[in-house]
Structure 1
Amino acid sequence: MDALLRISGVIDAVSRFFGKFIIWLVLAATLISAANAIARKAFNIGSNAFLEIQWYLFGAVFLLGAGYAFLQNAHVRIDVIAGKLSMRTRMYIDIAGILIFLLPMCWFMIQFAWPVVQGAYESGEVSSNAGGLIRWPVYALVPVGFALLGLQAISELIKRFAFLQGKAPNPLLHGAHGGHDEAHAHNDEAKGEVQK
C-alpha cells in the first residue's frame, strides 16, 4: 500500500500542476476577451481567431482542470444523502462509482476522441470561419483532459482503499469540502468510523 500511496502522491502533484496552470489560461481568456471587445467596439475590428481562442481556452480550463477538481473534492456531491451514511459506506460508494462509472467513462472518451484528433491533425482541419484556427489542438483537449481525470480517479481509489485500511487520512475531509488541517484533526475520529 505504501508504494501505491507514493504513486497517488505523484498523480496528485500532476493534478496540482494543471490546477495552477489553468489559472493562467483563465487570465489569458479574460485578457483576450477584453481586447477583442475593445477592438470591436472602439475600432470596429473583429477577429474570428480571437473568438475561437477564447473558446479553446474555456474548454481547456474545464477539461484540464477536472482532475484537480476531483483532487480538491470540488465536484458535485449529494451531501444531503451522503451526510446520513457512515464514512465506511461513503467510501464504498465512492469506490464503486470510480470503478463502475468514472474510469470506464474516461476510457471510452479517450478511445472515442483519439481518432478524431488524429484525423484532424492528418487532414489539417481548420475552422470553417474566416481566419479561424486549426482544430486538432482543441480536439486533443478531450483525450488529455479525460486521461488526467482518469489518473486522478486512480489516485482517489488508492486513497479510499488506504483509508479503509487505516493507512491514510480521510480523502473526503480536504479540498473544497474541508481544509487540510481539518483532515488531520478528524483523522482519528474518521478511522474510528471506519471500524463501524
Structure 2
Amino acid sequence: MQSVEEIAAVNDPGEVGRDEHNKGDRLTVLISNLFAWIFPILMIAICAQVFLRGAGMNQAWLDDFQWWLYGSAVLVGIGYAVTTNSHVRVDILYDNFPDKKKLRTEIFALAWLFLPFIILCWDVTIHYAVASVVADEGSDSPNGLHNLWILKIMMNASFIIIGIAAWSAYVRNLSKLMKPTLSRQLIYAFPSTMFLINLIAFYAIWWFIYLTSPADTTAREVGRSAIFDEFEVGVYDIKYTIVISLVLTVLVIGAARFLDRAARNDNAV
C-alpha cells in the first residue's frame, strides 16, 4: 500500500516536504498551481483547432494561442520542478553520495551553475521583450494572435519566478548544513551574488549616464563611455564595471555580516 508521501508525489508534488519549504518555495508552488490550469485550456484549444481544420475552417490565431499557452506553462513549470525536485535527472553518481555530499552538490548546482544561467537568461530576454513592446510586435500571420510582446514579457517574467525557485531551493538545502544567515547565503552563492550585483551596477551606471547626457545622446554613445572600457592586467583585459561589481559584492557581503552580527546581539539580549 502506498504511503501518503508517495501518493502526494504523484498527485501534488508541491505538498511533498512542505514542512521544510520556505516562503519562496510556497510562492513558487502557488504560482505554478495557478498556471497548471493552462494545460486543460491548451487541450481544448488543440482539439478545437483539429476539428476546425478538418472542417476547412482553420484558425491561425488558435495555432499562435497554443504556443502562447504552452510556452507560459512550461517556463513557469521549470520553477515548480526545481522546488519539488521533480525534474529529469541523470544520477549516475549522485544517488550513491552520502546525504551531506548530496546537499553540497545541490547547493553547488543551484547557486554556482543554474542560477547564474537564469540571471543571464533574464538579462537577455529583457531586451528581447522591450524591443517587442517598442515594435508592437504581432503574429507573422494576418489572422494570427497579435500583441506578441505580451508573451515575450511573460517569458522574461518567468525567469524571475525560476530565479526565486532556485534561490529558495538553495537556501532550503543550505539550512540543512548550517544556519542560513544572509551573509552565508551571499557567500556560498558567490557567482550568483556577484552576477546579480554586476547587472544592477551596470544598468545603474548606464541609466545615470543616459539621463545626465544631452538629449540627443544615443544608446550606442552611452555604451562607449569610458566607464565601460577595459584595462590590461598582464595578458588579460578586464572591464572597469567588473572591478566595480567585485568591490560592491565584497561591501554587500560585509554589510550582511554586520546585520547578522547585530541580529545575534539583539537575540542574545
Could you say which residue in structure 1 is the equivalent of 2:170?
157
2: CA distance, partners of 1:55 / 1:20: 19
How many residues get paired?
A: 160
Q: Secondary structure at the match of 2:161?
A: helix
Q: Which has the larger helix fraction?
A: 1
Q: Does 1:26 align with 2:31?
A: no
Structure 1 runs of 4+ aligned residues shifted over 3 Å read none
Note if 1:88 corresponds to 2:104: no
Alignment-derived partner of residue 180 in structure 1: none
Partner AA of 2:126 in structure 1: W
The CA deviation string for residues 30-50 of structure 1, in whole angstroms up to 9 with x for no partner, is 1011111111113x1011111
Amino acid at match of 1:32: A
Quick one: which amino acid aligns to residue 25 of structure 1?
I
Q: Which runs of 5+ in 2 are unaligned?
A: 1-20, 181-269
Residue pair 1:29, 1:57 contacting (<8 A) in 2 also: yes
Q: Distance in 1 between matches of 2:97 and 2:144?
A: 51
1:47 pairs with one of 54, 59, 77: 59
Name 2:143's counterpart in structure 1: 131
- Consecutive unaligned residues of structure 1, counting only runs of 5 or more, are 1-7, 168-196
Aligned residue runs from structure 1 range 105-184, under 5 A? 105-133=117-145, 134-165=147-178
Q: Is residue 66 of structure 1 aligned with residue 78 of structure 2? A: yes
1:102 to 2:97 alignment:
no
Higher RCO by CA contacts (8 Å cutoff, separation 6 or greater):
1
1:166 CA displacement: 8.2
Aligned 8 A contact 2:22 2:172 in 1: no
Report the equivalent of 2:89: 77
Are the counterparts in 1 of residues 49 and 58 from structure 2 also a CA contact under 8 Å?
yes
- Residue 20 of structure 1: CA displacement? 1.2
RMSD over aligned CA atoms reads: 1.9
Which is higher, the Rg of structure 1 or of structure 2? Answer: 2
